[in-house]
Amino acid sequence: MERDTENKPVVGGEAPDIRADEELRVAAVREELEVGVKSIETGAVRVRTVVHEDMHPVAVSLRSEKVTVERIPVGRAVERRDAPRQEGDTLIIPVYEYVPVIRMQLTLKEEVRVTTTEIVDQTSRNILLHTEELVVERRHGADGEWQREDGAD
């Protein structure tokens, strides 16, 4: 602010002539602004999984095999040994022995027939199944109550 020679404020852009014995005072003002960031909790979200265990009947096929062994006496003289053979579901295993006659002779003593039969039973068993559910909850404000969000599939 400027003052004239009689110490009156001067309005306008021109300052009057100041004599050497007068003093002109100018006030300097400086303003400072400090900018910062402050974190404030306005809410929160939590996500968790819930495991549900339920017993459910489930149809299953149980497979088992039944094996029967049948011995069939043959008592027939042979010239050579034959290897075991398969006829359908039956495995035939020849059993040989040497029988003293006037001379040693190879004789087919018996055949052992091993038959395998497959049995399939349809049954139901209770099985414990685990399913997971995703739960999303939201809280408004730092001390608000947790509320479950719908449609978080």
pLDDT digits (tens, 9 = 90+) for 25-47: 778 888 888 888 888 888 888 88
Mean pLDDT of 56-77: 89
The yes-or-no verdict on residue 84 having pLDDT over 90 is yes
Query: Which pLDDT score is estimated for 150?
Result: 81
How many domains does the chain contain in total?
Answer: 1
The yes-or-no verdict on residue 11 having pLDDT over 60 is no
* DSSP label at residue 151: S
Listed residue (47, 107, 101) closest to 80, CA to CA = 107
Separation between Cα atoms, residue 79 and residue 102, nearest integer Å:
16
Is 4 domain-assigned? no
Mean pLDDT of 147-153: 72
- Mean pLDDT over each residue of the chain, to the nearest integer: 82
Is 86 domain-assigned? yes
Q: Which domain holds residue 144?
A: 57-153
Helix (H, G, I), strand (E, B) or coil at 57: strand
